[in-house]
Each structure stands twice: as C-alpha cells, then as structure tokens.
Structure 1
C-alpha cells in the first residue's frame, strides 16, 4: 500500500491541463529536496513546468494525502467509539459549523483580517465551536456521554447551523460569493499551498501517531461498553477524549478542504471488509487507502471537464454512494464482525 501511495502521488502530478512527464517530476523534486541538478534539467528548472510541479500540483497532491488520511482516521475512530456503522467525521455537526463559518467569511466579510487564510480560519472556528456545543449538550444532564444523545445533539446542531447558513445565502446580494460558497461546501483542494500544508500535516500526523497506539482500546470499544468496563476502561472518559481529538483533526481538515463526503465513511468499511475488524490493521490501511482514494478523486475532478474543475466532493459522492449501497447488500460483510 505504501508503494501504491508513492506511485499514485507521482502519477497524479503528471495529470492536468498541461501534461507533464514523470521524469520531469522526479527531476524537480530531486532538485528542490536534494539540490541535485543535471545539465539537461537546467531549462526545465527555469521554465513554467517548474512552477506547475512545485507550487501548484505537488502541494495539492500532498494535501490530498493528508486530507484523505485525516478523514479516514476520523471515520475509523468515530465508528468504533459510537459503535455505529453510519458514523462519519461529520456526525457531530462539524461540517455544518465549518460551512457556517466559511459562509460568514465569504459573504459577510468576517475573518477578512486574516487575509488569504480568512475563509479557512472561519471554517475552523465554526467547526470547533460547533463540536464544543455538541459536547456541552451530550455530556450534560441525564444520560451524559450516551451515544444516542451524542448523535442526536449532532443532528440538532447540524440543523441549526444549516439554517443560519441558508439564511446568510438567502439575504446575500453577491452572486459570485454565493457561487464560491457553493463550491466550498462541495469540497475541493484548490486552496492547497505550502503555507497551509504545515499546520494540516502537523495536526494530522500527531493524531495518527496517537491513535495508532490505541488500537487495543478501539477494539474493545467496538465490541461494547460492558467488555470495556470489565477491562477497567472508563468508557465515558475515553469516548469524550477520543471524540475531542477526532473533532480537532476533522475541523482542521474541513477548514482546509471544505466538506468532502464519503471518504471517512466508506474507506474504513472497505478496509474492514478486506482485513477484518482488528484496528491494528484497520487504522494504517485506512490511512493509506483514504489518501490513495482522494488523490485519484482529485485527478478526476481536474480532468473530467476540459479547462475546468468540479468540486472533489461530487466525485467522492458519485463513487462512494453506489459502493456503500453495494457494501450494505453484501451478506458476507458485517460491521465489527457482526
């Protein structure tokens, strides 16, 4: 899978309105990272191809890798924690909160003092505040920390945020801004840049490293609360902690890429269907699978229309929806070994 990811990464850079040779990609990367330059490469390194590879396509493909891994990680953990096969990274209303923040940034000019990162900052703030609101509801009163209460709180907050987002769009006069909101909410990697990647990479990597050490706990949580408590695990505390961490990584990912659906839902299911429910295998393979899946979805989004680009969320939904229906109709597959 790691080799397939590297091959996908290099191949994806060659696709686009301007075709680029694989050897040219290798020459540019070798020059930028290792300082290696051949006599034949001097013209390449001083031409427009250098700009396309290093400043446009490579950051975009790397963002696809990180976003795909982040969404898959959140999906795996979320499904294990709430023991619901339909759980995904956005089940706590994070996507609607991010959409509200991004819409406020685009149409109302909020967060404009952050410059080019204003929309991402608005989306991150909306996602984070939304998840905090959901936690406040779910972990208070009767049945605190209950899975059903958590999911219902997410649905309620999702409806509220969607209502405010639609209201802002309804009263807006800026047609181009409304189009930008529509494009953002369908997800995309157009905002990819070397400035945005470090934050996204650090947060996602830290979460990946942590959860790769938690596979035993996730296995027990997937079996049920009774088994977890028998082994001395404080289910409510662990569940809250894991949900906070997945909310953070999802908020960062959504702020950078918009709402890209189905990656965190179908990739974990496909992996479980192939390797079983042991998170020691499910986690790393889901990370690689999510990255590869999103890389090629982005290639399709860039190539499917001449001189234009469609939101990547459309591609993931067109592929993910039918495949998820197939999974549900497959008798040989059961979530968590059920």
Structure 2
C-alpha cells in the first residue's frame, strides 16, 4: 500500500496535470475568441467563417467557393493579419515567461527576467546599428530584427566569457557581468544616435524597442513556435537540476550535480529564445518577471509545475495584452511593450504588498 506521503505526491501530480490541461484549453479558447477583436470591425460570423473555410480546406482538401475564400478581404484580415499576430503573441509570451523562470533559477535572484543579463541591451544595440548605419542590410527588411538577434546572442556569449574569467561562472558573477555589459551596450547605443545626428532615427529606434506584433507572418511563426516548444520540453526535462540551483552550488555538489555546465547550457538556450523573440516582436518587458512570480505564489517552487504553467500563463497573458493594444484606443494601436509594463508593474507591487513574499513564494 502507498504511504500518506506517496498519496499526497500523487494528488499533487494529478492536480498539476489538471492545471496544465486547463490552461491549454484556455489558450485555445483565448486564440479563437481574441481573433474577433481588432481595429477593423468585422462580423463574428465572417471571422469564424474564415476559420471554418481554412479547417475544411486543411482537413478535407476541398475548395469551398465562399466570401471567405483565399484572396478575399475577409480572409486576408483574419488569416494573414489577426491570427498570425495572436499566435506570435502566444509564442513570445510563453518564451518570455519560460526564460524568466530559468533566469531566476540560474542567478538565484527574484528580480531576474530575460533581460537581466544584458540580452535586451545587446538586442537594442544591434537594432540601433541596423537602423542608423544599415549594418546587416543584406537581410533586407528583416535587417533590424536579425541584427537584434545577433546582438542578443553576442552579449550572451560575452556574459559567459566574462563570468568564467578567473574561475567558474557563479550566479553572482553572471549577474555582475550582465549588468556591466548592459551599461556598455546602452552607452554605445546612445553614442551611435549622437554620432548619426538624425532627427528621425531616435523615433524609429524607440518605436521598435517598444515592441509590437504587427509584422507577424506564418512562415516566421512556424520556426519560432517550434523553437519555443522545443525549449519548453528541454527545460521540463531539466526540472531536477533547476530545483537544485535554488539550493546553491555547494548543496548541489553534495547531491552529485555540478551546476557549472548546466548553467552555461541554460543561458545559451534562453538567449536563443530571447533572440528569436526580439527578432519577431522587438523588446517586450515585464512578462518574464511578473508571470513566474504569480505562478510561484499559487503553485510553489517545483519546476515540474512551474515551467509548463508559466509558459502557458505567459502565452495567454500576451494574447489578451495584444487585444487590449488594438481596442483600448479606437483607431490606434498601443505598443505592446508599453502596455505590458503598465499592467505588469502594478500587479507585481500588489503581489509584494498582498503577500509576505520572498523568492520562491515564501518569506
């Protein structure tokens, strides 16, 4: 017979699985509901008519001659504009929340998010150089995004190099190296703007760094969604090591796990995901900070539940954040980075005031 502890653990596992499947269903419902919102008012019947047409065409391979067929204005608005940006929003939200969870475990810092190690500043520097000096012009209209991606990866590698000088990288050395490189990147970005002396350049850079999902398309979405799914599955397999990181390097070594190479591998994977997120949507902050904290308060610190639930909550949050961006001000679209910061900061303050809160959801 099972002991009381084994029964308790089994109930917790079933409860965690139930939460995950509920959030998967909620994400699907959110995507199909959010597609009805937009700056252009469309009848709900026509919106779902386009989705029905695409489903029939995909599963049955049949061409149904309707007003929702390919080439029609309704089809283009729903299938080529609204739905791709919602799928991109879900993928970006999942990536940011997932990387926030991992970053907080890597550096053992409750204030860590995907940009704490200078990744955001590296991406901004790459975008600034592409905008002002046409660096990376070989990639055409994607040059800003590609350079942002390259900048994020280069800064991540530089953080690893600096943190490993004089000995193995530790959480403190990673945090200090990231902070220093972030300041350097910001300084070079401002210096580049000063040298260029272009009145229009700062506004272009600021608009990009505010984040946005308007450039979404199915081709780029496929690559990014697959990368996010692969990253999520990878970190789910690493839950035990991530739990050990919260205990510290010395305790982990006594339990037979050396965290040095794990920390490097995790940082490279998260940098890749953040670089892809920046490439597709620009800089969107606060998701990787607030979502993991909220999930920890509800479910605790076990990464077996924390990772999948945080990724799904981040996806759902950014889907509805994009809806709010397009509907709060009729006829205008608010940059999503502004909205996430405006919504995230008060929520984070509420969590701190409402609960006796410390890292991992305990005092």
- Say yes or no: TM over 0.5: yes
* Counterpart in the other structure of 1:56: 81
TM (normalized to structure 2)?
0.88
* Counterpart in the other structure of 2:117: 92
Distance in 2 (alpha carbons) for counterparts of 1:29 and 1:177? 40
* Counterpart in the other structure of 1:12: 34
Residues 175 and 44 (structure 1 numbering): CA distance in 2 closer, same or farther, change over 3 Å? Answer: farther
Would the aligned equivalents of 1:297 and 1:312 in 2 still touch at CA under 8 Å? yes
* Counterpart in the other structure of 2:335: 311
* Residues 1:47 and 2:105 are matched in the alignment: no
* Residues 1:31 and 2:53 are matched in the alignment: yes
Give 1:38 shift.
9.2
Matches within 5 A, 1:162-173: 162-173=186-197
Give 1:200 shift.
1.3
- Which residue among 82, 90, 103 is the counterpart of 2:107? 82
Distance in 2 (alpha carbons) for counterparts of 1:88 and 1:113? 32
Would the aligned equivalents of 1:13 and 1:20 in 2 still touch at CA under 8 Å? no
* Counterpart in the other structure of 1:297: 321
Q: Structure 1 stretches of 5 or more lacking a match?
A: none
* Residues 1:216 and 2:240 are matched in the alignment: yes
Distance in 2 (alpha carbons) for counterparts of 1:33 and 1:182? 39
* Counterpart in the other structure of 1:271: 295
Give 1:202 shift.
2.3
| Structure 2 SS opposite 1:335 | coil
* Counterpart in the other structure of 2:140: 115
Matches within 5 A, 1:154-233: 154-233=178-257
Q: Identify the range of structure 1 (204-213 vs 26-35) with the bigger mean alpha-carbon deviation.
A: 26-35
Would the aligned equivalents of 2:97 and 2:314 in 1 still touch at CA under 8 Å? yes
Distance in 1 (alpha carbons) for counterparts of 2:310 and 2:87? 17
Would the aligned equivalents of 2:249 and 2:258 in 1 still touch at CA under 8 Å? no
RMSD (Å), alpha carbons:
1.8
Distance in 2 (alpha carbons) for counterparts of 1:319 and 1:203? 27
* Counterpart in the other structure of 2:20: none
Distance in 1 (alpha carbons) for counterparts of 2:202 and 2:158? 27
Distance in 2 (alpha carbons) for counterparts of 1:44 and 1:33? 12
- Structure (1 or 2) with the larger CA radius of gyration: 2
Residues 170 and 306 (structure 1 numbering): CA distance in 2 closer, same or farther, change over 3 Å? Answer: farther
TM (normalized to structure 1)?
0.94
Number of residues of Structure 1 aligned to a counterpart in Structure 2: 336
- Which residue among 309, 323, 338 is the counterpart of 2:347? 323
Q: Structure 2 stretches of 5 or more lacking a match?
A: 1-22
* Counterpart in the other structure of 1:248: 272
